[in-house]
Amino acid sequence: MKNTIALTMAITLGSAIHLPAQAQSLAIALDQAWSRHPLAAASAARTDEALARIDSANRLTPAPASVSLGNVNDQLNTNRGRQEWELEVATPLWLPGQRAARQNEAMALETEMVARQQALRLQLAGELREAWWALAGARNAQTTAQDRLHTANALALDVQRRYKVGELARVDANLAQNEQLAARAELVDAQAAVALAEQNLQTLTGVKPPVTFPAETGPVQPPPLEAHPLIRSASAATLLAQSRLQVVQRSAREAPTLAVRMLRSRSDLNDNYADALGIKLTVPLFSGSRVRQENAGARAELAQADAEWAQVYQRGQFAIDSARREQSNAQRQLAFAETRVQLTADNQALAEKSFVLGEADLATLLRARAAALEAHALRARYQVGVSAAQSRLNQSMGVLP
């Protein structure tokens, strides 16, 4: 119990740690995003609630004692000095096994709260990972568009110069200018995509996006599926439902009340006060309809928690298998892209040499350059894809950045 409370406090205090103005890694970005999460703001209050429930379950009585004071006299009729004072101290009593059931429920509730926070933190990490690599991909696409525009500008200047001296036809000058305009339009689209991706990431973290995007590494040893935060949260919910069912079963009637009565009275002014002490035990009768209703509700909650756990467990297995396939495919695609970059670079070099010598037209050179640029863009995309696939695999295994 102390470990889970300490973990809750660590999650709560995470928002108080000074974080840099830029997210230099996914781990830092997650801390920044979690500090802005609404649940983080309420963590301290949730922790106090759990501790209060535990303290309440550890009390000697299920509810505080009560004190009542009564007086009876004859001042309104005969007024002979009759006085009767009654002081009663009453306290409810635990039913057999009810206190232990309440203690188990309080500890299960505290454990479920911490597990639910960790599950939400993992879900937030998934959103952050997608936004992180989306921005990395958009930045790469922008760099590719800038390279294309730089190449198109250089080609347009060269073609325009050769057109003016009569070495190339006007159609070649038009083709070069068209390529230049297309490159500018692509760069505008890429810049817009980068701006949107930066906004999405900054919405999560609250700080400016980083300049570089360090990739994640996989765990040395894959954690067991039972340690996955989503599965642990579902398991904690099941245990909480079981503990609540036990509380209902141990609370078949309202709590009995034990009272100590002190009576001090006299019949008239001439009599001395007489004292008396008594004990009263109040035992509520069994309420069958209420018990059946609460029992049915607790059993329904337990059945739902069991079904949700089974569903989460199966989804966790499928997610890991799918992420591993995605990672393998991304690595293969990157290898193909590397080979394609080499081939298109060689073709581009040959096309440029042939164009300079007048053996190939401008359209052939543009096609070669377009193929080379596309190959570089695909390689950059697959490089980001490999890193994103590793992050998704970590996410499927429940590993936080």
Please state the φ and ψ torsions of residue 284, each to the nearest 5 degrees: -60, 150
pLDDT, residue 22, reads 61
What per-residue string of b and e applies to 294-321 under the rule 16 or more CB within 10 Å gives b?
A: beeebeebbeebeeebeebbeebeebbe
* Amino acid sitting at position 359: E
Q: Do residues 121 and 393 make contact, with C-beta atoms less than 8 angstroms apart? A: no
In the numeric block, which tokens belong to residue 88? 């009663």
Contact 221, 399 (CB under 8 A): no
Distance CA 106, CA 113 (A): 11
- At 400, phi and psi to the nearest 5? -80, 155
Which letter, b or e, does each residue of 197-230 get, where b requires 16 or more Cβ atoms within 10 Å of its Cβ?
bbebbbebbebebbeebeebeeeeeeeeeeebbb
pLDDT value of residue 399: 92
- Full pLDDT tens readout for the chain, 401 residues: 444 444 444 444 444 344 455 657 899 999 999 988 887 777 777 778 878 888 888 888 888 888 999 888 877 878 788 888 999 999 998 888 888 998 898 899 889 988 988 999 999 999 999 999 999 999 999 999 998 898 889 888 888 888 888 877 888 888 888 989 999 999 999 999 999 999 999 999 988 898 888 889 888 888 999 999 999 999 999 999 999 999 888 887 888 899 999 998 888 887 888 888 989 888 887 766 777 888 888 899 899 999 999 999 999 999 999 999 999 999 999 999 999 989 988 988 888 888 888 777 878 888 888 888 888 888 989 999 999 999 999 999 999 98
Half-sphere exposure (CA, 13 Å, Cβ side) for 194? 20
- Identity of residue 295: N
Choose among 11, 333, 36, 64: nearest CA to 205: 36
The CATH number covering residue 183 comes to 1.20.1600.10
Q: What is the pTM for the complete model shown?
A: 0.79
Rounded CA gap, 210 and 261, in Å? 73
User: Which residue's structure tokens are 């000058």?
Assistant: 173
Q: What is the 3-state secondary structure (H, E, C) of 54-114?
A: HHHHCCCCCCCCEEEEEEEECCCCCCCCCEEEEEEEEEECCCCCHHHHHHHHHHHHHHHHH
| Residues belonging to the chain | 401
Q: How many domains does the chain have?
A: 1
Query: Domain residues for 355?
Result: 2-397
Q: What is the DSSP letter of 212?
A: S
- What is the predicted pLDDT for the residue at 15? 40
Q: Is 400 helix (H, G, I), strand (E, B) or coil?
A: coil
CB 48 within 8 A of CB 5: no
Q: Phi/psi of residue 82, each to 5°?
A: -70, 135
Nearest to 398 by CA among 234, 204, 239, 222: 222
Phi (first) and psi of residue 219, to 5 degrees: -65, 150
DSSP 25: S
Q: Are 98 and 247 in contact (CB under 8 A)?
A: yes
Tokens linked to 343: 């081939």
CA 322, distance to chain mean position in Å, is 21
